[in-house]
Amino acid sequence: MDYVYGPGKNHLFVPGPVNLPEPVIRAMNRNNEDYRSPAVPALTKLYLRIVDNELKTGTGAWESALTNTLSPGDRIVTFLIGQFSLLWIDQQQRLKFDVDVVESEWGQGANLDILASKLSSDRSHTIKAICIVHNETATGVTNNLATVRKLIDQFNHPALLLVDGVSSICAIDFRMDEWGIDVALTGSQKALSLPTGMGIVCASPKALEASKTAKSVRVFFDWNDYLKFYKIGTYWPYTPSIQLLYGLRAALDLIFEEGLDNVIARHNRLGKATRLAVEAWGLKNCTQKEEWFSDTVTAVVVPAYIDSAEIVRRAWKRYNLSLGLGLNKVAGKVFRIGHLGNLNELQLLGCLSGVEMILKDVGYPVKLGSGVAAAAAYFQNTIPLIPSRI
pLDDT of residue 2: 59
Q: Has residue 333 been placed in a domain?
A: yes
What pLDDT, on a 0 to 100 scale, did the predictor assign at position 56?
47
Instruction: Tell me: do 73 and 15 sit in the same domain.
Output: no
Q: Is residue 341 domain-shared with residue 357, that is, in the same domain?
A: yes
pLDDT of residue 234: 86
Across the 390 residues of the chain, what is the mean pLDDT of every consecutive 10-residue run?
78 97 97 86 72 56 95 98 98 98 98 98 98 98 98 98 97 97 96 94 95 96 92 88 94 94 98 98 98 98 98 97 98 98 97 98 98 98 91
CATH number reported for the structural domain that contains residue 312 in this entry: 3.90.1150.10
Give which of 71, 163, 74, 72 is closest to 110, Cα–Cα.
Answer: 163
Instruction: State pTM to two decimals.
Output: 0.95
Is residue 287 located within the same domain as residue 218?
Answer: no
Question: Is 95 in the same domain as 177?
Answer: yes
- Shared domain check, 228 and 305: no
In a domain, residue 63? The reply is yes
Query: Which residues span the domain enclosing 211?
Result: 22-253
Q: Residue 66 and residue 72: Cα distance in Å, rounded?
A: 10
End position of a domain, from candidates 202, 223, 253: 253
CATH of the domain at 116: 3.40.640.10
Residue 315 lies in a domain: yes
51 is a domain residue: yes
Q: How many domains does the chain have?
A: 2
**Residues 216 and 128 reside in one and the same domain:** yes
Q: Annotated binding residue at 249? A: no
Q: Which burial class, exposed, middle or buried, applies to 315 when counting CB atoms under 10 A from its CB (0-12, 13-18, 19+)?
A: buried
113 shares a domain with 217: yes
Claim to verify: residue 214 and residue 295 sit in the same structural domain: no
Edge-to-edge strand order for the sheet containing 98-103?
Answer: 53-54, 199-203, 183-187, 160-164, 127-133, 75-80, 98-103
Does 118 reside within a domain? Answer: yes
Residue 4 lies in a domain: no
Q: Is residue 201 part of a domain?
A: yes
- Residue 274 in any domain: the answer is yes
Q: Does residue 170 share a domain with residue 119?
A: yes
For residues 198 and 54, membership in a common domain is answered with: yes
